[in-house]
Amino acid sequence: MLILRQGTRAELIVRKSRFLAEATPVASPEAARELQRERKRVYADANHVVFAFICGPQGGVMGCSDDGEPSGTAGRPVMEVLKGSGITNVLLTVTRWFGGTLLGTGGLVRAYTESAQLALADAPTAELVPLTRFTLALTYLRYETVRRRLAEFAVTITNEEFSAGVTLTGELPTANFAAFSAMVRDLTNGAAVPREQLPNDEGVMP
């Protein structure tokens, strides 16, 4: 799967109707829906803000809406373009300002499809690297020893809690998790083991 490195946008005029397509990276379905609602507020003068999103490491969480256009003429065509792109964690909205001339069912499908294609035509993408999120409880004695080895496994620490011991929360490429776990076990004589945090049903970390 691919991810967007940055957002893109494109405009299309069809028989005086203006179509503004915007593709944006998103971290979760909730973020996609919130951004879609924000665009409806920003483009309050528009007639429709159609959207489609795909999320999850395998692109398995999807959603779309025609936003008042005839059923199947807007959200689904945009979704088909997204699915064909191989991009995940992305929201694609197409905002329409009506130009006074009805386009018909076929015309709407073509216009929304072409708008979505234009937005993604030159979109900068990168390969999605699957990440595993973990927690790790350490004694103060072992904390610095383990900390010095994190870069070897491309670990990113997102939180540290200091109390009776140290609890680290972080993430690293999934391919490195087994070797990282083995390193921690070796350095702590088996006393500490990273615990993987599993995603919820939508593929989103808690």
pLDDT > 70: what percent of the chain? 96
Do 171 and 155 form a contact (C-beta atoms < 8 A)? yes
- Mean pLDDT confidence for 86-102: 97
User: Which one is predicted more confidently, 200 or 182?
Assistant: 182
Cα–Cα distance for residue pair 72/109, rounded to 1 Å: 8
The pair of three-digit structure tokens given for residue 91, joined into one six-digit string: 């929201």
Per-residue model confidence (pLDDT) at position 199 = 57
Judge whether residue 111 has pLDDT over 70.
yes
Per-residue model confidence (pLDDT) at position 152 = 96
Nearest CA to 152 out of 176, 187, 182 is that of: 176
- Mean pLDDT confidence for 199-204: 44
- Mean pLDDT confidence for 171-200: 91
Nearest CA to 136 out of 166, 164, 156, 162 is that of: 166
Residue written as tokens 């993408």? Answer: 125
Domains and CATH numbers, the chain: 2-127 (3.30.230.30), 131-197 (3.30.70.240)
pLDDT tens across 118-176, in order?
999 999 999 998 889 999 999 999 999 999 999 999 999 999 999 999 999 999 999 99
- Mean pLDDT confidence for 109-115: 98
Per-residue model confidence (pLDDT) at position 203 = 44
Do 12 and 111 form a contact (C-beta atoms < 8 A)? yes
For the chain, give the DSSP string: -EEESS-EEEEEEETTEEEEEEEEE-SSHHHHHHHHHHHHHHTTTSSEEEEEEEESTTS-EEEEE-TTSSTTSSHHHHHHHHHHHTB-SEEEEEEEE--SS--HHHHHHHHHHHHHHHHHTT--EEE---EEEEEEEE-HHHHHHHHTTGGGGT-EEEEEEESSSEEEEEEEEGGGHHHHHHHHHHHTTTS---EEEPP-TTS---
pLDDT > 90: what percent of the chain? 91
For the chain, what is the mean pLDDT? 94
Per-residue model confidence (pLDDT) at position 148 = 95
How many of the other CB atoms lie within 10 Å of CB of 36?
A: 22
Q: Cβ contacts of residue 178 below 8 Å, gap of 6+?
A: none
